[in-house]
Amino acid sequence: MGRRRRKVVQVVRRSLPELYLCPKCGKNTVKATINKKKERVAVICSDCGLSTAYPLDTNMAEVDAYCLFVDAFYRGDAPEETVVE
């Protein structure tokens, strides 16, 4: 008699999305890009043109810049269209 085989449990690793929801137009078209040479983070909606840039902090990811962008938009601090460097 042999023993029963153990069932292999696969762990699904979730990754962060590349495109986020725009607070102005409601579409998944916001992309955050990090430029380490200029030490800036640019957040741009490719559909409505809403964009802004933030200085790069240590250990800052794209999702952190997106959260700053959304918080500033709902507070009313984010301008409608900002020239991104």
State pTM to two decimals: 0.75
Identify the CATH number of the domain in which residue 56 sits.
2.20.25.190
CA-wise closest residue to 47 among 69, 19, 75: 19
Residue 14 resides in a domain: no
Alpha carbon of 23 to those of 12, 32, 37: distances in Å? 29, 14, 28
Residue 81 resides in a domain: no
Residues 6+ apart with CB under 8 A from 43: 30, 31, 32, 51, 52, 53, 54, 65, 66, 68, 69
Residue 8 resides in a domain: no
Residue 82 resides in a domain: no
How many domains is the chain built from?
A: 1
| 40-61: average pLDDT | 89
Residue 34 resides in a domain: yes
Residues 6+ apart with CB under 8 A from 61: 16, 34
- Report residue 32's pLDDT band, with 50, 70 and 90 as the boundaries: very high
Domain span holding position 42? 20-75
What average pLDDT does the chain have?
Answer: 86
